[in-house]
Each structure stands twice: as C-alpha cells, then as structure tokens.
Amino acid sequence: MRKPPSQVVASESSVKEQLRSLVEHALSRLASSGTLDLPEALPAVAMDPPRNPTHGDFSSNIGLLLAKHCRKSPLAVAEAIVGAIEADPDIEKLEVVAPGFINFHLRQTAMINIVDTLLRAPEACGKSRRGAGRRVQVEFVSANPTGPLHVGHGRGAAYGAALANLLRAAGFEVCTEYYVNDAGRQMDILALSVWLRYLAQAGAEVDFPGNGYRGDYIIDIAAELAERFGDRFRRASLPPLSPTPEGDDEGALDARIAQCRAALGEADYRTLHGFACQSILDGIRADLKLFGVEFDEWYSERSLVDRGCLEEALVKLRASGFVYGDGGAEWFRSTHFGDEKDRVLVRENGAPTYFASDVAYHSDKYARGFDQIINIWGADHHGYIPRVKASLSALNLDPGRLEVLLVQFASLFRGGEKVHMSTRSGQFVTLKELIEEVGVDAARYFYTSRRSDQHLDFDLDLAKAQSQDNPVYYLQYAHARICSVFRQIGQSRGRCEALDGLAHLALLVEKREHHLAGLLTRYADVVASAAEQREPHAIANFLRELATEYHAYYNAHKINVDEAALREARVALCAAIRLVLAHGLALLGVSAPEEM
C-alpha cells in the first residue's frame, strides 16, 4: 500500500519520487475518467528544481510532453493534472506556468525534515539503490609503463576514481581495473632505452636514438639496473645493424631493438625488459596511491598470451568469417560493422597487433560476467572505439555493454604561461610533481570540476591560492567554518550536539534555511544522476552551490544565538550541511578539513 505523502516526502531521496508519484496517480485518474487521452506508455515524469527559486522547489514539464498526444495545449494538460493531484499537507502551492510547467512549492516543514533524516542515518547520506544488483567494471588510467604518470594521466585517474565512487554510492557493485600494457613495441623501446643508458654509464660510446625514451627517469632505471645486476648486460661487441631506408627512423629503432635482443640473448633480454617494466610500474602504483587512487585489479597484457586468451580470441574471430589474409598479414573486416577501414590483427612477421590484444582483453572482460563495462580512455583513442565494438559484434558479444568515456587532455598554466610538454622526449610534468606543487585536494578537485570530454586549463597559481578565489579552498572553508562554529558554541555554551536540535526544526523559518534544506533534499538524487550520467563534475557544481548558500547564510544569520531551541535547530541544520559537504568532497577524492 502506498504510504501517505506526508510520511515519505521528507526522506532524502524520496521527495522527487513522491511528487512524481502524485503526478502519476493523477494521470491514472485522468485516464480512467477519460479526461485525457493518454498514451499506453507514459513518458518519465521529470521533477527538477527550477532555475529561479521563486518558481518553487520542484518543476515538471509533463504537460509539454503529453500535449501532442492529448491534442490539447500544454497549459490545458498541465491544469488538468494539477486539478487531479491529491491534496497533500506538505505541498503549500501548485501552479501552472507557461508554456506548460507545473511548479511545486513545498512547506518549510516538509523540506526541513531532511535534516532529521540525514542526522539520524548519516551512513545513508548520498546513497541510493539505483544500481542494486548490477556489476560494473571501470577501467581507467591504463598508461603504458614506459614512464612515470604525467598530468594527462592524472585527469583520467581523478575522473575514473570519482566515477567509481559515484557508482558505489548509487548501489552498483564496482570493480576498478588498470590494464598493464607490459607487452608490445613500446615496452621493447623502453628496454632498449634503458640498455643504452646502462652501457653509456659503463663508459661505452652510445648513439642514443632520437625516438627512444629520453627522460631522466631512464638514466635512473639504468643506474638501478647496474646496481642490481652489475656487468651482466654489458657486451664486448655488438652485431652490426642492418641498413634501413634513409628517413625511416622507426625502422631504425626496430633494428636497434633486434640488435639488443640478439646481443643479450632472449633470457637476459627478458630479464632486462621485466626489470625496466617493473621499475616504472612500481612508481606508477606509488604515485597513484599518493593521489588516493587504488585499483581492485591490475591486469597484465602478457597474461593474455601466457593464459592462451589471445590465441583463443583469434581462433574465435577467424571462425566468425570476418578475418582474411592480405599481404602476408591477417585482417579483421571491421568495415562490415561500420568502422572506417579494416584492421590488422596479425602482422606479416606473425606478431599480433595491439588491436589483437584489445580483442582478447575485451573478450575476457565479458567472460568475467560484468553487466556493464566502462573504459575511460584519452580523447586521442577515439578512433579505437568502432574497431573494438566491431570485434565484439563479430564475437556475438553485445557491444552495448561496453561504454567508452573519453577524457580530454589537461594543459597546465603557470604565471599565465602554458607549460609545454612532450612525453617521448621526457619533457613533461609528472603527476607526482603536480601533487608536490598543489597538493592532492586541489589536483583531484580541479581535474573533476569540468566535464571529462572538455579541454581543461589547469591554473597552478589558482590551485595553490589560499583564498576564496580557489574553488577547492572555498568548499573546504565552508566545512571548516561549520566546525569552527561548533567549537565556539561548545566553548561558550558547554555543549554542542547536533541531535539536540531535531526537536526544534520547526523554528527554521528563514528563506535561506528553506533553500539550504532544499539543496540537502536534492543531494542523493544529484549523486545518483551524476553516476548515471557519468558526470562527477555535477557533484563539484552542487557543492559550490551549497557552499555559496551556506556562506551567505552564515553572514546573514547568527548561529550561536541566546535562544537555546533556535540555536540547537541551526546547529542541526549546519551539521547536515557539514555531512553533505564532507560526503561530496570524499566522492571527488578531496579531504574535508576541520581547521584552515
């Protein structure tokens, strides 16, 4: 049996649902009476806060959505719905406004009860069951272990971690994963680069290739290699290089890799290769942990070969009829599924391509039984989406279960000037350096404060500013300000307990108090919506609005008043605001300090 509206309208996530239920019941009555000719499948009843607070607490456009089918004006449909809505003690006023919106004005008591709900069950703050029973994998960062993480990787790390937090808050079972590209050509270039620096440190004359990895971290790894293994990888003479066409720098690099393998022999080459990879991977793990980002799984690309997953995927793809040979290579006919061109699976020399590994990796993801698979890739990987989804279709796997989210690059600015970076040359700002300069909180917030698919200009000077111009400082200051007020009340009154004020919430009658309660009422729905839309920046936006309203309230109304009941009620309201601020900041990976 449906609970009376007055019993459920005040809960954190049910205000919108209850208002939506009132509208749906009204529509049912209008359909039964024949007043409105409604479609069998009704559109979802939207219920959102209007931009202008004078238009009420919530607004619905259902009149606009139904007007065409009902063959009536949106205003007429909206008026009919309002006339059929049951009287509710928590609704102060209903109004219809052009071109056909229904605005709901709620009574102060209905809105303010959110404070009671939050403080009696703080563990439920921001949580819903939208995703209950659904398993989601979120794979992000997954940078090649060829160098330390840079600021571009940092944005993907912050976004992926925040999205995983949002999904968990919305009730999803989440597994986070880092795909370690520890096989393939880039890792061979890394091994060669370390070896050449190792030889140079031992006194050998080395012509270091311009397209090798040139960062100082390569020199550091080479020194660690020498300390661990001594002269094990030194060779008295090297086999001659095979000539390559002039200007073929990549071909020359491949020849050098082959020379390295031949000189060391396969066993020593694998040891060198593994040492270089593990050294960088250890650094990546440490930097991510420092950044507050940890993964449930670290998945090795090499394991696809070792466990036979790669060959198994290729066998299945060949059996699909969409693989053909041309020029000694094997190709996947991805154009059949809408890709712009067919893709090489196995090269002329018999080596599988990166794409082949992607096919095997995604096939294994599906085999692990996730209901939804989310990949977070850099925007430069946009072209990979059609080919991967095409391979899934060819393997009779539902490509709709795979969602690829793109993260645009972040540009750093210092003193108004752009910081220029180049990964291969080693000229870049590492994630660790960024953390050391601006701190984890500022970095995590700035990265998640804009849509992930929008370019981000990261102002280092602003991120370090200890002023209200710095948005993360502004939010943290709101939390710290509440804590400071509570300390002052405790010192002057001898007691400051938030739960004491729950019996006096009816005294909170100021307009700002009503608006703050309305924001708190929206919070759980904002979290659920941000999870569904994959938009952590929606939390940042909400927190800014809440902090702005709190600062304005603090400046307009004294909290530590002499009247005990009113003081306790305001303490309770502030405690609920503090709870939501801390929870929202935690979702973004930002701390909530008690003093600043």
DSSP per residue, 63-119:
HHHHHHHHTS-HHHHHHHHHHHSPP-TTEEEEEEETTTEEEEEE-HHHHHTHHHHHH
> What is the pLDDT averaged over residues 176-203?
94
Which pLDDT score, from 0 to 100, does residue 12 have? 41
Q: Do 5-106 and 114-130+468-588 have matching folds? A: no
Q: Please provide the average confidence, as pLDDT, over all residues in the chain.
A: 92
333 pLDDT above the threshold of 70: yes
More confident residue, 65 or 425: 65
Rounded to whole angstroms, how far apart are CA atoms 148 and 185? 18
Question: Half-sphere exposure of residue 246, counting CA atoms within 13 Å on the CB side?
Answer: 0
Rounded to whole angstroms, how far apart are CA atoms 114 and 92? 17
Predicted confidence (pLDDT) per residue in 516-537, tens digit: 999 999 999 999 999 999 999 9
Q: Quick one: pLDDT band at residue 1, thresholds 50, 70, 90?
A: very low
Which pLDDT score, from 0 to 100, does residue 52 have? 87
Token pair for 267: 């066993």
More confident residue, 210 or 243: 210
For residue 584, give the nearest of 524, 529, 534 by alpha carbon.
524
What is the C-alpha R_g of the chain? 30
Which pLDDT score, from 0 to 100, does residue 214 have? 87
Rounded to whole angstroms, how far apart are CA atoms 359 and 395? 9
- Pairing type for strands 58-60 and 101-106 reads antiparallel
9 pLDDT above the threshold of 50: no
Rounded to whole angstroms, how far apart are CA atoms 429 and 486? 41
Strand partners, 60: 102
Rounded to whole angstroms, how far apart are CA atoms 596 and 363? 49
Token pair for 282: 């250890």
Least confident of 23-37, 38-52, 324-338, 573-587: 38-52
238 pLDDT above the threshold of 70: no
Which pLDDT score, from 0 to 100, does residue 111 have? 85
Rounded to whole angstroms, how far apart are CA atoms 219 and 222? 5
Distance, CA of 507 to chain centre: 40
Which pLDDT score, from 0 to 100, does residue 284 have? 97
> What is the pLDDT averaged over residues 274-292?
97
Which pLDDT score, from 0 to 100, does residue 206 have? 85
**Count of CB atoms within 10 A of residue 507's CB?**
17
Q: Quick one: pLDDT band at residue 245, thresholds 50, 70, 90?
A: low
Question: Half-sphere exposure of residue 511, counting CA atoms within 13 Å on the CB side?
Answer: 5
Q: Quick one: pLDDT band at residue 313, thresholds 50, 70, 90?
A: very high
Query: Phi-psi region for residue 138, left (φ > 0), alpha (ψ -120 to 50) or beta?
Result: beta
- 200 contacts: CB under 8 Å, gap ≥ 6: 206, 208, 222
Token pair for 83: 């006339």
424 pLDDT above the threshold of 60: no
Max distance between CA atoms of the chain, in angstroms, equals 96
Rounded to whole angstroms, how far apart are CA atoms 557 and 289? 42
Q: Which CATH number fits domain 5-106: 3.90.930.12, 3.40.30.10, 3.40.50.1220, 3.30.1360.70?
A: 3.30.1360.70
**Whole-prediction pTM value?**
0.89
For residue 90, give the nearest of 24, 9, 3 by alpha carbon.
9
Predicted confidence (pLDDT) per residue in 364-397, tens digit: 999 999 999 999 999 999 999 999 999 999 999 9
> What is the pLDDT averaged over residues 579-587?
98
Residue 9 burial by CB count (10 A; 0-12/13-18/19+): exposed, middle or buried? buried
Write the secondary structure of 240-278 as one string of H (helix), E (strand) and C (coil).
CCCCCCCCCHHHHHHHHHHHHHHHHHHHHHHHHHHHHHH
Q: Quick one: pLDDT band at residue 239, thresholds 50, 70, 90?
A: low
Any idea where the domains of the chain sit in the sequence? Answer: 5-106, 114-130+468-588, 185-280
Which pLDDT score, from 0 to 100, does residue 235 have? 84
Q: Quick one: pLDDT band at residue 423, thresholds 50, 70, 90?
A: low
Predicted confidence (pLDDT) per residue in 103-136, tens digit: 999 988 788 989 999 999 999 999 999 999 999 9
> What is the pLDDT averaged over residues 348-365?
95
Least confident of 166-180, 249-263, 428-442, 467-481: 249-263
**Fold designation for 114-130+468-588:** Isoleucyl-tRNA Synthetase; Domain 1 (1.10.730)
Q: Quick one: pLDDT band at residue 419, thresholds 50, 70, 90?
A: confident
Q: How many residues does the chain have?
A: 596
